[in-house]
């Protein structure tokens, strides 16, 4: 696969953050292909241990560091940024900005950059919200998207921003959690089947291949299953992959309390705390003794009803469905022409994916060759100086 008819070698595809859940699974899937050469990039050899155990040679370094950018990315035709920075909010923001910029600055001339963002940029995903306020995480990801677009404009390199939702696959937490529910027979789904913002890693690979082959125009896309799956479809697939029947209990989705209900609950809690004080209870009982019998009987009936409700509420009951099963569906710009996710999964792409095929640990991948001509070296020194300043 190549965008240049004169280039017959496989495209070199660097995956930043290759030791993460998404990055690692993409590496394993893409490594099966012969039209791309995968270059997993991890910060250190400890982080790359799983991929190397699976037989994939890696490069090591910090893409956020200007000194490492050239040797890690200089010979790469495609850079996929699946990193997840850590630290304080300020540290995360600065690290993600540097990584996004370095993916453009230090990759090969004409390289394609694919940046993974998140559906969290759309704000609060819970249903029934008049305003979908963005979380700090969503705001940070939007800021990084702006950095990607600025870097793309400076360099002129094609860029793709894929906004991912819940990522499913053998190495992904959400798939593991769903499968654990199925094995334990504890699947609880809302009665109203909602569209999920899930995307299986095979669909991410399909989008990557279409992007680097020129089948998709550069831009920002919501990357989810093609077409979007409901949560019942996701659970049905995971049950089928386990070879187990899907036994579900359908319950009403938990509805967020309205403002009036929240105020009533707070008032009742305050009243309950007040009446629980010994002095208040003593004075109340003394007052009740002087009230008419009809009032006393009514108060006694209220107390019995309250105690019964408390006891009923303490009885075992079905847990409510997970909140994310009722989140609103997102999607503004989808990629046309993606292979249906169900069709991709029918070919059993995950079969044997997590089975090591090597007999010895592979050596580390060599660094990209340094600039050859004085002009190239001068340009590289200038970029490093600009980035470091």
197 and 135, same domain (yes or no): yes
Region of 175 on the Ramachandran plot (φ > 0 left; ψ -120 to 50 alpha; else beta): alpha
Q: Report if residue 293 sits inside a domain.
A: yes
Q: Report if residue 318 sits inside a domain.
A: no
Q: What is the CATH number of the domain that holds 171?
A: 3.40.50.720
> What pLDDT, on a 0 to 100 scale, did the predictor assign at position 382?
56
Q: Report if residue 6 sits inside a domain.
A: no
Q: Is the pTM of this model over 0.85?
A: no
Partner residues linked to 248 by β-bridges: 187
180 and 300, same domain (yes or no): no
**Last-in-domain residue among 282, 313, 344:** 313
> What pLDDT, on a 0 to 100 scale, did the predictor assign at position 265?
61
Q: Report if residue 16 sits inside a domain.
A: yes
The ranges of the chain with pLDDT < 70 are: 1-7, 128-131, 253-277, 280-286, 288-289, 313-318, 370-389
301 and 330, same domain (yes or no): no
Region of 114 on the Ramachandran plot (φ > 0 left; ψ -120 to 50 alpha; else beta): beta
> What pLDDT, on a 0 to 100 scale, did the predictor assign at position 388?
46
**Last-in-domain residue among 313, 334, 359:** 313
24, 204 Cβ separation under 8 angstroms: no
Q: Report if residue 124 sits inside a domain.
A: yes
User: What is d(CA 143, CA 93) in angstroms, rounded to the nearest whole number?
Assistant: 8
Q: Report if residue 201 sits inside a domain.
A: yes
Q: Report if residue 227 sits inside a domain.
A: yes
39 and 98, same domain (yes or no): yes
Q: Which residues span the domain enclosing 300?
A: 259-313
171 and 276, same domain (yes or no): no
> What pLDDT, on a 0 to 100 scale, did the predictor assign at position 387?
46
264 and 334, same domain (yes or no): no
Following DSSP, what letter does each residue of 98-133 receive, concatenated? HHHHHHHHSSPTT-EEEEEEEGGGG---STT-SS-P
121 and 226, same domain (yes or no): yes
Domain count, the chain: 2
226 and 265, same domain (yes or no): no
84 and 210, same domain (yes or no): yes
265 and 244, same domain (yes or no): no
279 and 331, same domain (yes or no): no
Q: Report if residue 3 sits inside a domain.
A: no
Give the sheet arrangement for strand 59-60, strand by strand.
59-60, 36-42, 11-16, 78-81, 112-118, 159-164, 219-223
285 and 179, same domain (yes or no): no
60, 42 Cβ separation under 8 angstroms: yes
């Amino acid at each position: 696969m190549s965008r240049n008819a004169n280039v017959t070698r496989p495209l070199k595809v660097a995956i930043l953050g290759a030791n993460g859940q998404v990055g690692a699974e993409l590496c394993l899937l893409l490594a099966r292909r012969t039209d791309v050469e995968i270059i997993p990039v991890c910060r250190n050899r400890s982080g790359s241990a799983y991929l190397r155990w699976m037989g994939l040679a890696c490069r090591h370094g910090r893409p956020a560091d200007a000194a490492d950018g050239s040797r890690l990315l200089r010979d790469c035709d495609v850079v996929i940024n699946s990193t997840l920075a850590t630290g304080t909010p300020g540290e995360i923001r600065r690290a993600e900005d540097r990584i996004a910029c370095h993916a453009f600055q230090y990759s090969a001339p004409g390289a394609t950059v694919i940046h993974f963002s998140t559906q969290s940029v759309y704000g609060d995903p819970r249903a029934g919200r008049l305003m979908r306020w963005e979380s700090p995480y969503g705001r940070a990801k939007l800021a990084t998207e702006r950095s990607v677009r600025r870097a793309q404009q400076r360099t002129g390199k094609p860029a793709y921003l894929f906004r991912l939702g819940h990522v499913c696959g053998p190495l992904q937490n959400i798939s593991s959690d769903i499968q654990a529910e199925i094995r334990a027979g504890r699947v609880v789904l809302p009665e109203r089947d909602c569209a999920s913002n899930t995307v299986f890693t095979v669909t991410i690979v399909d989008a990557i291949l279409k992007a680097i082959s020129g089948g998709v125009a550069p831009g920002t896309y919501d990357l989810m299953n093609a077409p979007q799956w409901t949560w019942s479809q996701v659970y049905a697939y995971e049950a089928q992959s386990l070879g187990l029947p899907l036994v579900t209990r359908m319950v009403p989705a938990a509805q967020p309390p309205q403002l009036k209900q929240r105020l009533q609950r707070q008032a009742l809690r305050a009243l309950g705390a007040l009446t629980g004080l010994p002095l208040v209870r003593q004075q109340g009982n003394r007052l009740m003794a002087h009230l008419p019998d009809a009032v006393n009987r009514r108060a006694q009936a209220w107390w019995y009803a309250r105690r019964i409700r408390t006891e009923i509420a303490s009885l075992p009951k079905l847990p409510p469905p997970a909140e994310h099963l009722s989140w609103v569906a997102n999607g503004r710009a989808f990629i046309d022409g993606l292979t249906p996710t169900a069709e991709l999964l029918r070919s059993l792409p995950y079969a044997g994916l997590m089975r090591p095929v090597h007999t010895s640990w592979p050596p580390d991948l060599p660094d990209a060759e340094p600039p050859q001509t004085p002009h190239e070296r001068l340009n590289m020194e200038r970029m490093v100086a600009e980035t470091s300043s």
